[in-house]
Structure 1
């Protein structure tokens, strides 16, 4: 009686039930090649197209400040005025010296005019005429020097009116009215940033540089830069900037300390949304031709390696290790372990066992040609 019960129990076990049902259906797909645009993101520092430090060319006390931090200014707009009492006195003194020099020229000219006819009549020696002419030339030279001193003094006085060299946004102002400033100060009066366009600076390591350069057409650096595609900018809040940019320059040398090379992209900034000093990410597209794409859900990990179940001609599954280069959205780019045309199990891997026979159910391929993905 006990043997009969055991036999009945064994007939009703889950394993025997699965064997009785036979092979189970699983969705399968074929590995296909696709041309994929992969977007790599690189941390970037944003700077205005022109970041100009405003420094005084003469020493003096700040008399007036005409702008505030963050103000928009135009080229030629007055920013600061320095006290100018000493410089005013220097201009007045230089102007007086010019008048004196002019009088000396007139006096020397009169002497020449007086001596010249006397020499012609042999009344006096020609040496006296030469002396008078020499004195005239010296007076004229003194006048030129006095005029130069006056222009220099006047220019120094003009330097007390400090104007913006470009259109832009005013940065911080570390000084206040009454502060003594000069050419030797470590800090500038302020900084004016022209942000009508902004630069995004980012770096690639040596390996990335080699991969990137192999994809570019052209022999010279200029030709390679010209063939570069447009780039996008990811802002700090994760949003994509409305305007696309382009790479303008590639540094000619690899930094030996970091093993990286610097790139500079330029973006238009018509709404002044971007400011100098902010950070972001440059989103750079690269083309991968004939890539083998595999959905991430169709793989599993074991001991640090990635596997996929492939289906043989007898509809039996076999795990196969694969190498992947990038994770793009919900897919992997497979570099080794699979070939185009192979059939793999697309979903339900948790129910599979090595050598298990299945009923393949064909579905659409995981990806289409010319897909685009973002690799962060």
Structure 2
């Protein structure tokens, strides 16, 4: 009797162990969650990186070479056309100065000689000794030599001082503002040597002036997106220096030629930025421009995470629920996307339940963890 009890107990324990192993090894079917399509607004946009710069920016250069004698303005100052920015003290070139002085001496000798002849011929003409033609020739030579002397003296003054008597406000030693605006930069200081702009030299920049009320965005877009934009496209410009504020802008230039950067072809774009009085926008602020490539309102959409792609054909498809945890593949045609939601042109309806293929129910996850 005792032996039967022992065997019975062992049998019960074995049965219990077998049942436990059976339960442990039996996996319940994976329960996939589903989502249904929905209607929403989708905006497909790209971001162009760049900066904001003044529409008009002018470099002021001297008309003569020399030394900066005095600077009358500071960076950030507002100026009008014709305002004096700096004056230049001319340092004559020894060779040019010597040549000009020699020219003046020769012109003076010629003038004095022609003056003597003129006064002599005038007296002879009044006495009737010489003809009128001879007198007029002497008078013409006299006037011509006087003009040559004046010209030589003026040239000497320009070499010595940078200007000549009678030039007034047009003196070359005065550096003046050529546009109205803000002084952005003065790269020279008093005592610096400057060079005039000429055929062989761009000249020294005395100051840079810009109209800060007219700013533009300069940036670049990728070749894959440049064909989707055109002049007049609306931009939203955000500045790195100003948080949580965007400025409206309108595209007005797309470069006809791209440049290759890091293996990708980029095209330069420009857009007029509409400013307000809330912040002072400084030239050169880094900026990003949101460019709307395409926009659709209230279109049938699904989340991009629901999409699957055929490995061979790359055809997009989803799995539609047909029964309890039963799904059927359905190829779909896609429209525009904003990176989160994508438009569905054909293949599903609003009532379809689409399998979330990369997510199971929390109940199944707990069972798997146990």
Which residue of the partner structure matches residue 182 of structure 1? 195
CA offset digits 1:226-269 (Å, max 9, x no partner):
xx232111111573545311112222333367633221112134
Cα deviation, residue 29, structure 1: 0.9
Match of 1:287, SS? strand
Q: TM-score, normalised by structure 2?
A: 0.64
What do you get for the CA RMSD once the two structures are aligned?
A: 5.0
Residues 233 and 240, structure 1, Cα contact 8 Å, conserved in 2: no
Matches of 2:68 and 2:290 in 1, distance apart?
45
User: Structure 2 regions of 5+ residues with no counterpart?
Assistant: 1-10, 362-370
Task: Describe the shift of the 1:6–1:266 C-alpha distance in structure 2 as closer, same or farther (beyond 3 A).
Answer: same
Task: Describe the shift of the 1:24–1:249 C-alpha distance in structure 2 as closer, same or farther (beyond 3 A).
Answer: closer
Match of 2:85, SS? strand
Matches of 1:165 and 1:114 in 2, distance apart?
55
- Report which of the two structures shows the higher radius of gyration computed on alpha carbons: 2
Query: What pairs up with 1:298-337 in 2 under 5 angstroms?
Result: 298=306, 310-314=319-323, 316-318=326-328, 328=338, 331-333=340-342
Matches of 1:140 and 1:49 in 2, distance apart?
51
Matches of 1:241 and 1:111 in 2, distance apart?
87
Which residue of the partner structure matches residue 274 of structure 1? 281
Matches of 1:28 and 1:153 in 2, distance apart?
84
Cα deviation, residue 43, structure 1: 0.5
Q: Residue 37 of structure 1 is aligned with which of 15, 39, 43? A: 43
Matches of 2:309 and 2:131 in 1, distance apart?
115
Matches of 2:195 and 2:321 in 1, distance apart?
82
Say which is worse superposed, 48-57 or 292-301, in terms of deviation.
292-301
Query: What pairs up with 1:1-376 in 2 under 5 angstroms?
Result: 1-2=11-12, 4-5=15-16, 8-9=19-20, 26-30=33-37, 36-83=42-89, 124-132=130-138, 134-135=140-141, 138=144, 142=148, 145=151, 153-154=163-164, 158-183=171-196, 188-210=205-227, 212-213=228-229, 224-225=230-231, 228-237=232-241, 239=243, 241-255=245-259, 259-271=265-277, 273-289=280-296, 293-296=301-304, 298=306, 310-314=319-323, 316-318=326-328, 328=338, 331-333=340-342, 339-341=347-349, 343-345=352-354, 350-351=359-360
Residues 86 and 174, structure 2, Cα contact 8 Å, conserved in 1: yes
Q: How many residues align?
A: 320
Task: Describe the shift of the 1:71–1:126 C-alpha distance in structure 2 as closer, same or farther (beyond 3 A).
Answer: closer
CA offset digits 1:339-368 (Å, max 9, x no partner):
34272437695226xxxxxxxxxxxxxxxx
Cα deviation, residue 296, structure 1: 4.6
Task: Describe the shift of the 1:245–1:148 C-alpha distance in structure 2 as closer, same or farther (beyond 3 A).
Answer: farther
Residues 310 and 345, structure 1, Cα contact 8 Å, conserved in 2: yes
Match of 2:218, SS? strand
CA offset digits 1:85-109 (Å, max 9, x no partner):
879xx9xx9xx99xx9999999999
Match of 1:259, SS? strand
Match of 1:70, SS? coil
User: Structure 1 regions of 5+ residues with no counterpart?
Assistant: 214-223, 353-376
Matches of 1:324 and 1:103 in 2, distance apart?
97
Matches of 2:92 and 2:341 in 1, distance apart?
74
Match of 2:359, SS? helix
Matches of 1:144 and 1:187 in 2, distance apart?
31
CA offset digits 1:81-138 (Å, max 9, x no partner):
2235879xx9xx9xx99xx99999999998898777777xxx6434324424533663
Q: TM-score, normalised by structure 1?
A: 0.63
Matches of 2:316 and 2:132 in 1, distance apart?
112
